[in-house]
Structure 1
Amino acid sequence: MKITSFDPRKHGYHFANRFVTHVAPGIVTRGLCGGMSMGALDHWRNGIAAPNHFATAEHGNDLGGAEVPAEGGRLQSAIYERQVHSLTTALVYNRWLFGPGSVADGHRASVGAEFTEIRRRIDAGRPCLVGLWSLGQNDVFGGHQVLCYGYETTPMKLYVYDPNHPDQECELRPFDVPDRGVEVCAPGISDGYRGWFAADVYNWDEQPPWTPRYVDLAITEGIRINGSTDVAAGGGLEVTATIKNMGQYPSRFKNLYVYVRDPKGFNADHLLHGAEPGVTMLQPGESHTIVRRSDTFAAGAPGNYRVGVSYLSLTDRWCDLSAVPGTRSFVDVAVHPPNAQLVHDRWVEVPESATEPVGAGVTIKPGDQIALTGRGAIWAGVWFTGNNGPEGWVDWITDNPRFPLHGRPDARQFSLIFRVGDEAWTYAGPEVPRRTYGGAGGDLQLWINDDVHNNGTGAFNCRVQVWR
């Protein structure tokens, strides 16, 4: 059994796939299942929830009484764009046209090579777009698309988000009798198909990831800390954030929350009072500003805290908020002992020519507070490119193990990086705000996240500050 973190009740749309699209005069199509499946995957990959617009029996209707968002509106247009993306490749087009000749053939393909391929993608941590052949051999347009986010082998089944059934955790499984094909099922649901196939044309290699073209709830100002993100234990802290419904329909939820996580990752919401009272809906264009203050934040408990704003959805899922450019949905606050003293403050040169990590001449001990400031510029030795600063190539995240830092969302090529002792490399960039170090300790090392050192020019300079 393998299940990814995709959640149909969080990342899937909260209305059924009953779209009618007028493509051209006299040409009408029904359904946007591929666009809804691909859009839901966009939400998951960007770490946000689907828009909080409902049209279900359980949660009522936010769409003006309609079953789906209005044709030509921003939300329908965003889904339609992804629908086109899900179909316009030769591979997928041929799979729809030249499917299995019989239901039994579709069943055989599903439980054989197609299940193996979908399983391979799930094992790699990637939900997989799945095509479903209709029961009728000549009914090319009667097929369907869903998103698989997990599987089991005994008995064989796929866990899928089915746009036809919002807020349902559906299963896709083969019938015991091959002549019956496969079915999407959930309590009260049984939809039959000839078979399934891996239709994953998702643009996984696009960096940065494809950004959803439609969001509703977003932080438009903040999160702001009144003063510094570096505070003494028991000192005052004020947090401000403005949330706006940027969508075209009302957004409903159970609570807006200011959350706090302590240095061990445990819930410390009580420090800033948790839920925002009386706010469960924002109309289109409406904003709400949250202001929270603690006069004795984290008294007696120094370390690194995370403060952010999230919400509890109507489907009982905790959801992070989108953040418009220039804002952020969380901020890290370093809480230090009131008597901490600055014991190291020095600048260290990190040249592009360094073929080994550069020692900072500082030994970090457990409980120390560290701050790094990066300056300078390098040319990384890549032809037809210019210089870059410590932030590196911000749109180029690497999975290549030849780079010291790779396989992480902040693994920017040619950026300033650091580590303590033999620990994993960490992105430094232009600034690492003062924070408490929680590891075993060791010598601080700096380097450039480069796969070929000493083929360019220039250097970064890093200010290293340590409090103890």
Structure 2
Amino acid sequence: MLKKLDFHPGRNGFHFRNDFTNQVLGVIKTKGLCGGMALAVFNYARHHLPIPTHQGGAGYWPGYLDQGQLLDQGVPPNNSRLRTYIFNLQMSSFASAGPFITAPWIGRRDNYNWALNDEFPKIKRAIDQGKFILLGLRSDRDGDPIGHQTLCYGYDDSNGLHRLFIYDSNHPDEEILVDIDTPDHPLKHCHADGTSAGETYRGYFVQLELDPLHPDALTEITKPSYLDLVLHQGITLAPPTGSDGVRRVGQPLTVDFAVRNVGDYPAHAARLGVRITAPDGQVSDTLLNSTQPFTGLAAGAIQPIRCTAPMVGTQPGIYKLQPFYVVANAPFVVLFTDARGIVPAAVDVELRERIITPGIPIPKIIAPILTSIPKG
């Protein structure tokens, strides 16, 4: 059976790589904040908050030179709000990192047996209960005594598989697979097409079970406060186009709203629009699109958005309208929510039956096909 929780790295994961360099006591350098990034994306998802839209390759995180080496390029800089949040969660993750360290005589076959007989059943049981897993991957490289921390949100045990689906902060916007392989090569860490993702690991273990409904002490106090692209002004509707002043099915519809970047760096999206949910539950994310391109929004800036459709609705009733944006590097719709408790994120609009005037030919109207960009 294949089972995944409501999560996908393209929608819920950070859009930049784990390229952090950390200065410890101003002298020792360490690489990465993988545990902090894994716990952070869990917290955003648990609280139904959109992940920041910042892109690592956008050029606004230039990094710095240290002894001729360029460090921290493409990641939030030291002392920034977002980096501080991730860093603090990284420190918290070390409390459960003990199983990374194993005795020298523990080999690949032992890690294979642990993964197959102990850890995989434990992960499967937790995911069946709706829990995420902070998953520790033990490195198979010389000189790396620790490994890597990821977020597991699914498994597949059909047809003899022992596969996990993970958010790996070294591969933004991408679903990474971890398969139990053979005793001599315990784990496959690969892309969705089966090709190697470039890292080698000798085993994995459950570092933490993360329950989105009943958080533990570690995650209870760490609700994210950093957002970037938010709804600044809720939906307003242009006046009805009919002479009777009533909104009816099959008529044009123009919708206005405004977004604001409350983050510290430019916000990015592929496009903005308004989701339409018809009375029968059908959803369209393609009918009401913005009439102007969205090329990014500077920190603190506000941008009005206008969306127009030539015809909306084929059945009378209440239609729900909710603004959204599409992730810049992945085809996922992110609905604006009332994350700050300031602006209502959705409105209902009633469309009444269309009036048919006797004696006037009725043009053939092809009902718009209500299709939705994948939501993960």
TM-score, with length taken from structure 2: 0.75
Which residue of 282, 285, 292 corresponds with 2:300? 285
Q: Which residue of 1 aligns with 2:83?
A: 76
Note if contact 2:41-2:51 (Cα within 8 Å) is conserved in structure 1: yes
Which residue, out of 202, 206, 221, partners 1:194?
202
Give the paired residue count: 326
- Give structure 1 stretches of 5+ with no counterpart: 339-468
Distance 2:310 2:163 in 1: 54
The answer on 1:262 being equivalent to 2:278 is: yes
Aligned partner of 1:119 among 124, 144, 150: 124
Could you say which residue in structure 1 is the equivalent of 2:66? none
Amino acid at match of 2:134: L
Give the corresponding residue for 1:104: 109
Q: More deviation in 300-309 or 280-289?
A: 300-309
| C-alpha separation in 1, matches of 2:276 and 2:147 | 46
1:221 aligns with 2:233: yes
Amino acid at match of 2:228: D
**Change in 2 beyond 3 A, CA 1:304/1:98:** farther
Q: Does 1:95 align with 2:99?
A: yes
How many Å separate the matches in 2 of 1:302 and 1:163?
A: 46
Q: What does the per-residue CA deviation read over 1:319-365, in whole Å, with 9 as the maximum and x for residues that have no partner?
A: 12253222132223355679xxxxxxxxxxxxxxxxxxxxxxxxxxx
8-17 vs 125-134, which deviates more? Answer: 125-134
Query: Which of 308, 316, 322 is equivalent to 1:302?
Result: 316
Distance in 1 (alpha carbons) for counterparts of 2:111 and 2:138: 8
More off after superposition, 119-128 vs 42-51: 42-51
Counterparts of 1:44 and 1:325, CA distance in 2: 17
Counterpart of 2:336 in structure 1 is 321
Partners of 1:12 and 1:119 in 2: how far apart? 22
Residue type of the alignment partner of 1:158: L
The answer (yes or no) to whether the contact 1:256–1:311 under 8 Å persists in 2 is yes
Deviation of the 1:288 alpha carbon: 0.9
Partner of 2:319: helix, strand, or coil?
strand
Q: Does the CA contact (< 8 Å) of 2:227 and 2:263 recur in 1?
A: yes
CA distance in 1, matches of 2:59, 2:12: 18
Could you say if the C-alpha distance between residues 274 and 301 of structure 1 is closer, same or farther in structure 2, counting changes exceeding 3 Å? same
Partners in 2 of 1:282 and 1:218 — Cα distance? 11
> When the two structures are superposed, what TM-score results if normalisation uses the length of structure 1?
0.61
Residues 45, 209 of structure 1: 8 Å contact kept: no
**What is the identity, as a one-letter code, of the residue corresponding to 2:153?**
Y
Q: Secondary structure at the match of 2:154?
A: strand
Letter in structure 1 aligned against 2:227: V
Query: What amino acid does structure 2 have at the position aligned with 1:279?
Result: F
More strand per residue: 1 or 2?
Answer: 1
Cα distance change, pair 62–49 in 1 and its aligned pair in 2 (3 A): farther
What's the CA shift for 1:208?
A: 8.7
Q: Is this contact kept in 1: 2:136–2:205, CA < 8 A?
A: yes
Partner letter of residue 199 of structure 1? Q
Aligned counterpart for 2:150 among listed residues 146, 151, 154: 146
CA distance in 2, matches of 1:275, 1:238: 10
- Deviation of 1:257 (Å): 0.6
Deviation at 1:132, TM superposition (A): 1.1
**Matched-pair identity in %:** 29
Q: What are structure 2's unaligned runs of at least 5 residues?
A: 64-72, 240-244, 355-376
Cα separation, partners in 2 of 1:208 and 1:296, compared to 1, 3 Å: farther
> CA 1:68/1:251 → structure 2, altered by over 3 Å: closer, same or farther?
same
For 2:52 and 2:115, how far apart are their aligned partners in 1?
33
The equivalent residue for 1:370 is: none
Compared CA separation, residues 101 and 77, structure 1 to 2 (3 A): same
**For 1:179 and 1:295, how far apart are their aligned partners in 2?**
62
Q: CA deviation at 1:311?
A: 0.9
Q: Distance in 1 between matches of 2:86 and 2:220?
A: 20
Contact 2:290–2:308 (CA under 8 A) maintained in structure 1:
no
Q: Paired residue for 1:63?
A: 61
Partner deviation per Cα, 1:59-97 (whole Å, 9 max, x = no partner): x54434723111211121121122223233xxx243234
Between the aligned partners of 2:223 and 2:317, the Cα distance in structure 1 is: 34
The yes-or-no answer on 1:172 pairing with 2:184 is no
Give the greater-gyration-radius structure (CA): 1
Which residue identity is paired with 2:261? Answer: N
1:327 to 1:318, Cα distance in 2 relative to 1, 3 A? same
Match of 2:257 in 1: 241
Question: Quick one: structure 1 residues 209 and 305, their matched pair in 2 at CA, closer, same or farther if it must change by over 3 Å?
Answer: farther
